[in-house]
Structure 1
Amino acid sequence: MADSNRTSPEENAIVSYKTSKILVVDDVPENLRLLKTLLKNEGYDVRFAPNAKFALASLTQFVPDLILLDIMMPEMDGYTLCEQLKGNPETQDIPIIFLTALNEEADKVKGFQLGAVDYITKPFQSEEVLVRVAHHLKLTQLNLQLQEKNQILLQKNHQLQEAERETRLLLEVTQYLTQASTWEQAIAQIIKSICDRIFWDYGEAWLPQEDTQTLSYLPNPFATHPTLKPFCQLSSTLEFQAGEGLPGKIWQNQTLEWIQDITQAPETSYTRQSLALQIGLKCAFGMPILVNQKVMAILVFYQGKITPCQLNLVALVQAIASQISFLIQRKQSELQLQQQAQDLAEALHQLKTTQIQLIQSEKMSSLGQLVAGISHEINNPVNFIAGNIDHLESYIHDLIQVYYAYQQSYPIPAPTLTELIADLELDFTLTDLPNVILSMKSGTERITKIVNSLRRFAHLDESQLKTVDIHDEIESILTILNNRLKLESSPEMSPVNFSEIQVERDYGQLPKFDCFAGELNQAFMQILMNGIDALQERYEVEKKQPNFPYILGIKTQWIQNLSQVQIQISDNGMGIPANIKPRIFDPFFTTKPVGKGTGMGMAISYQIIVEKHGGSLKCLDIPGQTTFAIALPQRPKKQ
């Protein structure tokens, strides 16, 4: 049974903004008293300042969530105070609503240019004040929540980047060992890659010699600076027995060893202490490469600062050691090599797939929450407006009828009334009012359509299979992308008119089918945006109106014998070079400049369509255009 005392997230949000702090700045005591009563009755924590000087002093001890600021004040007006607050990093993010009796557009524009978020005109209307205050407090709270979510995404992205770098290092180790004729030849390259990744100064390798029962130095160590050359030369003359020096101790114990401070290590543990200190090496650690419990090699690393044992570094190096051991063992048998290579490729593919799924999951989760917030904040005022337009239209109609009845009863009005009617251009106003009402209706319908398209695109709270009309899904995405269908020249191009992308639809008769709608919409949007990007690129290259139009084509058909929906999305943009077509679905591959593409969009689309829905995604070779062919079963094979 649900706990009746528990509150929902929406209720918590209401409580949060209802207890917000507000600073009111006005030189008129009556206004302060009115706003004090009005806001305190709503539960707000309200402070007051009779002028700008008191406001600045108050802000040193009281940080409000919102400022209500009068414009016309002695000594320093509201505009000047607003400019000062927006110029101060500590107060620049506090939203400011101006209180004013000024109705000139220039005054309002000036306020918005200085950073104000809204106006409340005098004399105050209580409901208007409360609605505007609550609206901007909720917007501020939503912005803070979005910033927090963005920070979490950045942290997760950093973790993914770290995982990717470690994966690349493991791939390099694999490549060195598989390409080298012997694993000993690959060790030098592996040591360099490890030092580059962990930012240590020197790396060396030691190999057990069965005939002498000693460790011998492997040539070609890695050193970041020429001053380390004497250390290399001395090491090349040495041999270690089991238990002797750092390499010998690792050989004997078959475990990783870490010397935090060489100056504190006994000479039996570190025989090259004096030379190491002389050239600036202060910390060392080493690890064995084990194959079937036998030491095949020992890798030792050094750096020039005292460093405690780092568990994450140890884990990374041990993973590399395990990788090396595994690959050495593979080289001992050609048959085993082939089998293990396949296993490694599958493991790496699974890792990338997991990364893609995590990124996709985080994006869809954040998108869903963002769309939910936007839909709620937009729908409420839009529904309020839409619900009152019909009433407004009826009231205006009644007033017009009264006016015409008055004209018939009093065809010759008083001179002052005649002059007022002329000044107000009342005849034009009465004619134009229906057009204004129609425009308002059209605007609210457009907003509602966009919000509904966003909700349909995200399919909020729908992680399971959903039966959809594929054409409705595509049209929702086109509604969202409507603004991008206008191609605009870059600043460096000569001025040209906007050029529209023509969307050519060739829709077949399709049955409704089951899919993971939110994720599938993400794939459709990615492919459509790529097509728009290609058309934009062609537009910027041509630098003039084209001889043939920019076309984004969408074709759908139902293949009865396969129980399959086929969708083709094409564009007549710049095309895809043949040499990169095989890589367009690879994770992290992109042809876009740095900062404009992550290389994950098409990889995620492929994973959604092929792996999650059991369909296919191909780039077709059709002259004069780029065409992506999508095939989807009526119900996903993987659920």
Structure 2
Amino acid sequence: MLSTQKNEILIVDDIPTNIKLLHDVLQTENYKVSIAKSGKSAFKKLNKIVPDLILLDIMMPEMNGFDVCEILKQNTRTEHIPIIFMTALTDEVNKVKGLSSGAVDYITKPIHTEEVLARIKVHLALRKTQQKLQNEIAERKQTANELSQTLDELKRTQTQLVHNEKMSSLGRLVAGIAHEINNPVNFIHGNLQHAECYVEDLLGLVSLYQKHILNPPKEILDKMESIDLAYLEKDLVKILTSMSIGTSRICEIVSYLRIFSRLDEAQIKPTNIHEGIDSTLNVLDNRLQRNNDYPNIRVVKDYRPIPAIECYPGQLNQVFMHLLSNAIEAINERDTHRSLSAANADPGMVMISTAVRDDRFMMRVMDNGTGIPENVRSHIFDPFFTTKDVGQGTGMGLAICYKIIAETHRGKIWCEPNPDEPGTQFFLEIPLSLN
């Protein structure tokens, strides 16, 4: 057979006849009874038991029932226990005072057992109902928390899926463009060296003809004059030199694109972080060079000596891209609200600092742009949070940075305002090794 747990009732009274009467009646009704003959004795009892209900006398020596009740209601262990006062005081003032101190009811002395049992049953039933409601509320809170966690996980998964697809497409595009450009540019760049040699030989031959043939035919003289041979000799060399410089720059950009995309480097490997930052800066070079007479954005690099860091280099390059792009956008936004003279007097600047401290790589990206308000700064790493207008961005950039740094690289990333001027500072740190 299943046993039914008895409700326990604590009687707090200093009069033996009242205690005996209540004890006998309650035991007859199958209640478990505990007894305390003073307020202090009740506190000692309550250190060992948590009864379902307390019958509390008001008029007791040393400490009255009002004081005992107030202390019990301030204790998280006993605040939920229903307390019924037992009193011979029948005036309304004491009744109100008793209920105000935290009691749920009162019994008037001399004690009538039927009244006591009726009030006890009512309040035990109410407490049972309250406990049931509290359990249901707790279960619903738990369900709500689980749903919230599931929703957060779905958001993170959605962010990662979109990011993976976006970066995969971007990586393939960058790698494909770099590959397609690389072959013809290398061909042109390599042949320019031969072309320079051939031109020098031809110009040398023309010089010999001029030296040894003092009176060339009129047709040759006319042609020399029409093409301005003297100017052509000088300018042709300059053109070839400029073409060589241009193709060298394209080859350099292709190299930076390959470093930035790093499609073949999906695994952890020792990496030169400074090389990754520089490649990102070169990819963003056209955004640093501004027009409309606004000064170019200056990049100040404070690189301290750091060892090769074991990391996912392609993912870190994505972090550098997001942080630097945000800095450039903040500076451009600032200058759209300033006059040209003000922009020239205080040009845009991005400062990149790196260092190693306590076996961790540290990096700071600081700009003197518009800055980020405090109410926005607390949300910038949330997925899909953005202050941009519709169509100008997904708001995933910094959420992706947080995932790459905090989850993939077991590091930290945070944002602070500039201490001395407008602008923003982003800090990140990761361990030197993930193994």
TM-score when scaled to structure 1? Answer: 0.45
Residues 612 and 636 in structure 1, CA contact (< 8 A), matched pair in contact too: no
Which of 501, 504, 507 is the equivalent residue of 2:297? 501
Residues 330 and 337 in structure 1, CA contact (< 8 A), matched pair in contact too: no
Instruction: Please say if 1:555 is aligned against 2:358.
Output: no
SS in 1 for 2:385: coil
Distance 1:428 1:331 in 2: 96
Which of 386, 395, 417 is the equivalent residue of 2:220? 417
The residue that corresponds to 2:189 in the other structure is 386
The residue that corresponds to 1:540 in the other structure is 336
Q: CA offset at residue 348 of structure 1?
A: 2.1
Matches within 5 A, 1:2-151: none
The residue that corresponds to 1:614 in the other structure is 410
The residue that corresponds to 1:207 in the other structure is none
Distance 2:244 2:382 in 1: 47
SS in 1 for 2:383: coil
The residue that corresponds to 2:317 in the other structure is 521
Distance 2:149 2:255 in 1: 41
Matches within 5 A, 1:60-459: 332-459=135-262
Identity %: 42
Instruction: Please say if 1:636 is aligned against 2:434.
Output: yes
Paired positions, count: 300
Q: Deviations over 1:379-436 (max 9, x none)?
A: 1111110121111011111111111111111123222211211110111111122211
Q: Deviations over 1:285-325 (max 9, x none)?
A: xxxxxxxxxxxxxxxxxxxxxxxxxxxxxxxxxxxxxxxxx
Distance 2:401 2:203 in 1: 57
Residues 364 and 519 in structure 1, CA contact (< 8 A), matched pair in contact too: no
Q: Deviations over 1:197-235 (max 9, x none)?
A: xxxxxxxxxxxxxxxxxxxxxxxxxxxxxxxxxxxxxxx
Distance 2:133 2:364 in 1: 45
Which of 396, 403, 410 is the equivalent residue of 1:600? 396
The residue that corresponds to 1:583 in the other structure is 379
Cα distance, 1:373–1:331 mapped onto 2, change above 3 Å:
farther
Distance 2:361 2:238 in 1: 44
Letter in 2 for 1:517: P
Q: Deviations over 1:146-197 (max 9, x none)?
A: xxxxxxxxxxxxxxxxxxxxxxxxxxxxxxxxxxxxxxxxxxxxxxxxxxxx
Distance 2:285 2:418 in 1: 26
Distance 1:459 1:394 in 2: 37
Q: Deviations over 1:479-530 (max 9, x none)?
A: 1101111334xxxxxxx41320000111111111111111111111011101
Residues 487 and 539 in structure 1, CA contact (< 8 A), matched pair in contact too: no
Instruction: Please say if 1:626 is aligned against 2:424.
Output: yes
Instruction: Please say if 1:487 is aligned against 2:290.
Output: yes
Q: CA offset at residue 540 of structure 1?
A: 0.5
The residue that corresponds to 2:81 in the other structure is none
Distance 1:538 1:475 in 2: 25
Q: CA offset at residue 339 of structure 1?
A: 4.0
The residue that corresponds to 1:510 in the other structure is 306
Instruction: Please say if 1:566 is aligned against 2:362.
Output: yes
Residues 175 and 261 in structure 2, CA contact (< 8 A), matched pair in contact too: no
Distance 1:501 1:389 in 2: 34
Residues 535 and 573 in structure 1, CA contact (< 8 A), matched pair in contact too: yes
Residues 372 and 417 in structure 2, CA contact (< 8 A), matched pair in contact too: no
Letter in 2 for 1:534: A
Structure 2 unaligned regions, length at least 5: 1-131
SS in 1 for 2:433: coil
Letter in 2 for 1:632: I
Letter in 2 for 1:474: I
Residues 371 and 417 in structure 2, CA contact (< 8 A), matched pair in contact too: no
Residues 330 and 336 in structure 1, CA contact (< 8 A), matched pair in contact too: no
Cα distance, 1:330–1:569 mapped onto 2, change above 3 Å:
farther
Q: CA offset at residue 335 of structure 1?
A: 4.2
Q: Deviations over 1:446-469 (max 9, x none)?
A: 111111111111102321112211
Cα distance, 1:513–1:429 mapped onto 2, change above 3 Å:
same
Residues 620 and 626 in structure 1, CA contact (< 8 A), matched pair in contact too: yes
Cα distance, 1:342–1:412 mapped onto 2, change above 3 Å:
same
SS in 1 for 2:196: helix
Distance 1:621 1:364 in 2: 29
TM-score when scaled to structure 2? Answer: 0.66
Distance 2:434 2:152 in 1: 22
Letter in 1 for 2:424: T
Distance 1:383 1:372 in 2: 16
Distance 1:628 1:330 in 2: 47
Distance 2:294 2:233 in 1: 36
Distance 2:279 2:134 in 1: 55
Distance 1:484 1:340 in 2: 49
